[in-house]
Structure 1
């Protein structure tokens, strides 16, 4: 099965991109889940949708010939959404969780307006919504490689700080840790990974790849590092298995990846119950 992906450039790009996304999305997702910020992924994915819709609208009404790469516009919107969430968390100091649904609502609202102005859905937008095994170009792959490398570097250098903020933010702040800036860097990394993942998994399903493998690993892991390891393993299994299955059965890769992740989660829950019974 994997020979088909290595035979053609566009499939090879998708496979490499999927492997990278399957690594960094669950890796970052562990910190997202532990900090109880899972809805941030949904909010930023909807903001990314607005960016994609805006780029397709501009290409249709102003520019022609693929002048704008929707991935870059999606990244710009996603990072902007992350910064706005942080700004709103400061505005609503006692109700910081409000920042997430506000940005989520604004993102989907703007996206729907742009889609309606562009006269509805087209094939390109459908691929961004649900993923495609043939949509990853060489430039997209290079961008994903750069984002993946950046995320890994940030996690390596800020591992202790992120770990401390995840489990005890008040103590971390009391010890003099620059929690605000570290959280800002963290949420920008989340925004970049979400935007990078949309080519393979799809905008509407990308948050699942950041949470489902983590949910499965939490059930069976005995410590934080094991949770990181199992999350990456489950994420890679879901992405590679989903891409292979979707290609041979002609299915949307995003949905297939998510359903394999769900099966892994169910297996982890059942295994844990049998072990503790």
Structure 2
């Protein structure tokens, strides 16, 4: 029986999965520290509307999803910071309107049955060279921005009021985090799908947190775990003929469960 690395499409899937697994937790950490873990799910639902808009207009769905998600992220940050809507209400708006809008737009484009599963749950095994290049470029941009602006981004995430006192451009940094989350969601659509991207952003961070002693160590460990669960999930999916996106997320969930068991055993 041939191994997964003997197949071109599997090698591409491993590269994309590992890259997304590294980058997604970097942004997820900023969301977790801001107590906004679910925003990845909300933006994922909103990106589904962007996919539908792309199919209706005849443009690249991932590109339209990127634009719609960035605009939505900025709007949601504005609603939160201006106190026009509480964070949970703003997220509810994203959840429901995004998914419903995507269903309506995709069905109006006449591609509901053909397209819905690949965008909802990912289609990492069908990624071509163009998708690979776009993913690598956007992932590199995300990682570079987070690394260069690490101190101010984490400063605002941990203590927003303290960041105001020290003179940091809090509003601009909050908008930047929202945009980074939106780009991460768009990059990850083909990997795990719009319904599961939030899990890939947050679960490795949740698993790394109890094992690390600093925020920087948490970020490094979360990225390593993200890459690990992506590679492991793809391998399990290949040998058992399972959906790759769901298997990757279940692997991440199992890892977090193992960390919780380890902590419980230490306390016993």
**Structure 1 length-normalised TM:** 0.90
1:4 alignment partner in structure 2: 4
The whole-number CA distance in structure 2 between the counterparts of 1:123 and 1:94 is 36
Given the alignment, which residue of 99, 102, 113 partners 1:111? 102
2:46 alignment partner in structure 1: 47
Report 1:27-106 matches (<5 A): 27-59=26-58, 68-92=59-83, 95-106=86-97
Q: What CA deviation, in whole Å up to 9, does each residue of 1:111-148 have, x standing for no partner? A: 12213323463233311211223221211111111111
Q: Is the 8 A contact 1:92 1:99 kept in 2?
A: no
The whole-number CA distance in structure 1 between the counterparts of 2:2 and 2:84 is 50
Kindly tell me: are residues 205 and 96 of structure 1, through their superposed partners in 2, closer, same or farther at Cα, counting changes over 3 Å?
Answer: closer
Q: Is the 8 A contact 1:38 1:211 kept in 2?
A: yes
| C-alpha RMSD of matched pairs (Å) | 2.0
**Superposition misfits of 4+ residues, deviation over 6 angstroms:** none
Structure 1: 5+ residue stretches without partners: 60-67
Q: Is the 8 A contact 2:204 2:256 kept in 1?
A: yes
The whole-number CA distance in structure 2 between the counterparts of 1:93 and 1:176 is 24
Q: What CA deviation, in whole Å up to 9, does each residue of 1:142-201 have, x standing for no partner? A: 111111111111112211111211211101011111010011111101100111111011
2:12 alignment partner in structure 1: 13
- How many corresponding residue pairs? 268
Q: CA deviation at 1:109?
A: 2.4
Q: Is the 8 A contact 1:90 1:96 kept in 2?
A: no
Report SS of the residue matched to 2:126.
Answer: coil
Q: CA deviation at 1:94?
A: 7.2
1:149 alignment partner in structure 2: 140
2:228 alignment partner in structure 1: 237
Q: Is the 8 A contact 2:30 2:177 kept in 1?
A: no
Report SS of the residue matched to 1:38.
Answer: coil
1:270 and 2:241 equivalent?
no
Q: CA deviation at 1:230?
A: 2.1
Report SS of the residue matched to 1:122.
Answer: helix
Kindly tell me: are residues 6 and 32 of structure 1, through their superposed partners in 2, closer, same or farther at Cα, counting changes over 3 Å?
Answer: farther
**Structure 2 length-normalised TM:** 0.92
Kindly tell me: are residues 133 and 156 of structure 1, through their superposed partners in 2, closer, same or farther at Cα, counting changes over 3 Å?
Answer: closer
1:197 and 2:188 equivalent?
yes
Kindly tell me: are residues 197 and 176 of structure 1, through their superposed partners in 2, closer, same or farther at Cα, counting changes over 3 Å?
Answer: same
